[in-house]
Amino acid sequence: MTSNPKFSAIQLICALTMWGLLPCQAQAYTIFVSSEKDNTITVIDSEKLQVTNKIKVGRRPRGILVTHDGKYLLICASDDNRIDVMDTKTLKVVRSLKSGPDPELFVLHPSGNPLYIANENDNQVTVLDIEKNIVVAEVPVGVEPEGMGVSPDGSVMVNTSETTNMAHFIDTKTHKLVDSVLVDSRPRFAEFSSDGRMLWVSAELGGTVSVIDTETRKIVKKIEFKVPGLPKETIQPVGVRLTRDGSRAFVALGPANRVAVVNTDTLEVEKYLLVGQRVWQLAFTPDEKLLITTNGNSNDVSVIDVEGLKVVKSINVGRAPWGVAVGP
Amino acid sequence: MSGTATIDFRLGFAGYITCFSGIARREFLRFLNQRERFFAALVRPLVWLFIFAAGFRSILGVSIIPPYETYVLYEVYVVPGLAVMIQLFNGMQSSLSMVYDREVGSMRVLLTSPFPRWFLLLSKLAAGVTVSLLQVYVFLAIAHFWGVEIPVGGYVAALPALVLTGLMLGSIGLFLSSLIRQLENFASVMNFVIFPMFFASSALYPLWRVRESSEVLYLICLANPFTHSVELVRHALYGSFEPISLGVVASVAIAFFVLAVTAYDPARGLMPRRGGPPGEPT
């Protein structure tokens, strides 16, 4: 029997790749970044890590997300009091949705509809049917609502109010506020763990992240951050993302120019990663190989290798990058 | 004895090898017998890394400087400069040994061998560079455990760059040693050469920072071959290539080596005119 040398070579490459001796080819995704001072969405190729396009959108774009089917990018155009809908293939804004005044951040129900929008100036959360563009409900919450999270089973939505310093739990069926948990000063972001048992809420001025048990609605731990050589007041947690396997959390620390890596078992900080100035929001690529950070004051985004816990590149984008989302 | 770059084939290839290995062995033995020299060479950059860099930890977190593709801490920035600093001190120290040898007479034995002077000096230079490489890689290994993680390929890619920078700094040292009559004078020249070269370079701070305070100083730093040594090694460590620095380092290495060979040539050099050791042929 004769051996096929080509097959052997392929086998060798596969084996080397499996052993981690050759880098695996990462899938290319499209990274979208909103720039609130340029009124643009910057498009970045996740494989080449290069800017491929810039698209003009509504005024002061902040929170952005990609719909679950990957077809559309939803953009909070805060100063135009609307949500722009961009086709992720053609990169054209195809329509606008109602949002209520000054939309800042939003989250989609796990089913893909409705959309829950924080209206910062109106102290309410707007519930919007994105297919029909109809406001289903308006839920009054605390002062200056911002962070939005929804439980993986879709039963509970959480909003954080910056001035009231609370995380508000809202029933997604009745649209009624069912509970509120007091956290540290200026809560900015809410993120559920993938099993839905824990809710992570960052407090910008408090300098902490509260980990809340979603069943008892009690704070399990307040994580504090200490970056050597930096004064405490520069450490201002904002964006939070957890890996799907629940092993790690990443916390953007604002003017500390660091992303903290937190072990979710011990709830202790493992490492601080240096990124650009005033790191704000975070987003994983769908394969969770990369984590993208928006750096508002240095006008760039940093790309973190999630497995190696290293910052691999920083890429210039428009002025004051704010939100980030990754599509297929 | 001719200082021209020709090989006298009557001496045989094996003869050249024996001559080179003799000089190299002498340099290594000197290195092994002076362990404190090895530790002293390491302590200097480690003090900078552990103490000085700690104080300036966040200073560079505001700008991305090639070859880095993202923000780096000061301790990461400063490592290539400290690696080349080891070579700078080593190059000067190796040349210091030339002055010492000449003062106690053993240099005379070396230079009166039938081998061309350029070969003797090149052998001396190569042996010195090899010793400096050992010191640099030990330093890089310690820096790695301190958290300055350089891509694995960078350690390999930096080797030819370090060889070239070692040759350049060693050549400068050799030339300087030819100008010096006594050990004491050489020490003062070291102060006038090492410190200005080191501080007026990109080893400790990026040049855009220097430019912010003084355009003249920036131009001086830019013209300093030590800056190009540091940048050549820095780029190589991160897998990129800096052709201008390569050109500058190679040119300066060749120029100073030719100057050193000329200076050490008793027929044309500076030694007899400056009053070389008694007994030197003129």
Search chain B and give the residue with CA nearest A49: B69
Q: What are phi and psi of B217, to 5 degrees?
A: -60, -35
Judged by CB atoms closer than 8 Å, whether chains meet at A274 and B149 is answered as no
Contact A43, A31 (CB under 8 A): yes
Helix (H, G, I), strand (E, B) or coil at A13: helix
The whole-number pLDDT of residue B195 equals 86
Nearest chain A alpha carbon to B55: A229
**Contact assessment for residue A172 and residue A192, using Cβ atoms and an 8 Å cutoff:** no
Question: Using an 8 Å Cβ cutoff, are B158 and B233 in contact?
Answer: yes
Res. A20: pLDDT tops 60: no
Q: Does A228 touch chain B (CB under 8 A)?
A: yes
Evaluate whether residue B281 is within a structural domain. no
Phi-psi group of A196: left, alpha or beta (phi > 0 → left; psi -120 to 50 → alpha; rest → beta): left
Alpha-carbon separation of residue A132 from A11, A324, B116, B217 (angstroms):
52, 26, 91, 66
Please name the residues in contact with B75: beta carbons below 8 A apart, sequence gap of 6 or more: B49, B53, B54, B57, B143, B146, B147, B148
Token pair of A184 as six digits: 């540290």
Of A71-80, A290-299, B212-221, B265-274, the poorest mean pLDDT is in: B265-274
Contacts of A276 in chain B (CB under 8 A): 71
pLDDT at B54: 73
The DSSP 8-state label assigned to residue A186 in this structure reads S
**For position B60, what pLDDT does the model report?**
57
**Tokens at B120, concatenated:** 């003797």
Provide CB contacts within 8 A for A230, sequence distance 6+: A256, B58
In what side-by-side order are the strands of the sheet with A134-140?
A103-108, A115-119, A124-129, A134-140
pLDDT of residue A8: 42
In a domain, B269, yes or no: no
Q: Is B58 in contact with A230 (Cβ distance < 8 A)?
A: yes
Spatial CA neighbour of B88 closest among B37, B25, B157, B41 = B41
Q: Chunk chain B into consecutive blocks of 10 residues (it has 282) and report each block's average pLDDT, rounded to whole numbers.
A: 51 78 81 77 84 69 78 90 92 77 68 80 88 92 91 93 95 85 66 87 88 91 96 95 94 94 70 47 38
Nearest neighbour of B64 by CB, restricted to A230, A257, A314: A314
Residue B88, in any domain of the structure: yes
- Is A310 in contact with B69 (Cβ distance < 8 A)? no
Q: What is the model's pLDDT at position A11?
A: 44
Residue partners of A226: CB distance under 8 A and separation at least 6 = A232, A235, A269
The answer to whether A29 and A52 have CB atoms below 8 angstroms apart is no
User: How many structural domains is chain B composed of?
Assistant: 1
CB pairs under 8 A between A and B: 34
Is-contact A321 A35, C-beta < 8 A? yes
Domain extent, residue B246, equals 9-264
Q: Please name the amino acid found at residue A98.
A: K
What's the pLDDT at B62?
Answer: 56
Query: Is position B280 within any domain?
Result: no
Burial category of B279 from C-beta neighbours within 10 Å (exposed 0-12, middle 13-18, buried 19 and up): exposed
In angstroms, the CA A36 to CA A296 distance is 9
Using CA coordinates, name the residue in chain A closest to B76.
A274
Interface residue B72 vs chain A (CB under 8 A): yes
Within-domain flag for B254: yes
Tokens for A146? Answer: 């911002």
Closest residue to A312, CB basis, from B64, B69, B149: B69
Please state the ipTM of this predicted complex. 0.73
pLDDT of residue A321: 96
pLDDT in tens, A1-17: 333 433 344 444 444 44
Q: Does B51 touch chain A (CB under 8 A)?
A: no
Q: Collect all residues with Cβ–Cβ distance below 8 Å to B124 and sequence separation of at least 6.
A: B23, B27, B94, B98, B110, B174
Q: CA A325 to CA A72: how far, in whole Å?
A: 11
Interface of A with B in 114-153 (CB under 8 A): none
Taking contacts as CB-CB distances below 8 angstroms, the residues of chain A near B54 are 229
Enumerate the H helices of chain B as residue ranges: 13-33, 35-47, 53-55, 74-104, 106-111, 117-145, 152-179, 183-199, 207-213, 215-223, 225-237, 243-264
- What contacts 24+ positions apart, CB below 8 Å, involve B247-253? B249/B164, B249/B165, B249/B168, B249/B225, B250/B164, B250/B168, B252/B168, B252/B171, B252/B172, B252/B225, B252/B228, B253/B164, B253/B167, B253/B168, B253/B171
d(C-alpha B111, C-alpha B114), whole Å: 8
- Cα dihedral sign for A262, A263, A267, A268? negative
SS3 assignment, position A205? coil
Helix (H) or strand (E) holding A103: strand A103-108
Question: Could you tell me whether strands A82-87 and A279-284 are parallel, antiparallel, or unpaired per DSSP bridges?
Answer: unpaired
Asked if B151 is an interface residue toward chain A (Cβ–Cβ < 8 A), one would say no
Helix (H, G, I), strand (E, B) or coil at A179: strand
Sheet with A310-316: list strands edge to edge.
A279-284, A290-295, A300-305, A310-316
Instruction: Provide the 3-class DSSP secondary structure of residue A163.
Output: coil
Helix axes B152-179, B183-199, angle to 10 degrees: 140
Residue A25 is classified by DSSP as: -
From chain A, the residues in CB contact with B69 under 8 A are 312-314
**Does a structural domain hold residue B122?**
yes
Q: Would you state the pLDDT for residue B6?
A: 55
CA Rg value for chain B: 20
Q: Do B57 and A229 touch (CB under 8 A)?
A: yes
CB contact under 8 A, A302 and B57: no
Pairing of strands A248-252, A240-242: antiparallel
Q: Are B114 and B8 in contact (CB under 8 A)?
A: yes
pLDDT of residue A18: 41
Region A281-304 average pLDDT: 96
- Which of helix, strand or coil describes residue B192? helix
Query: B69 in contact with A at a CB cutoff of 8 Å?
Result: yes
Q: Tell me the pTM.
A: 0.81
User: In chain B, which residues have their Cβ closer than 8 Å to the Cβ of A21?
Assistant: none
Within a domain: B126 = yes
- Among the ranges given (A76-85, A215-224, B39-48, B130-139), the one the predictor scored with the smallest mean pLDDT: B39-48
Nearest CB to A274 within list B54, B69, B71: B71
Sign of torsion over alpha carbons A252, A253, A257, A263: negative
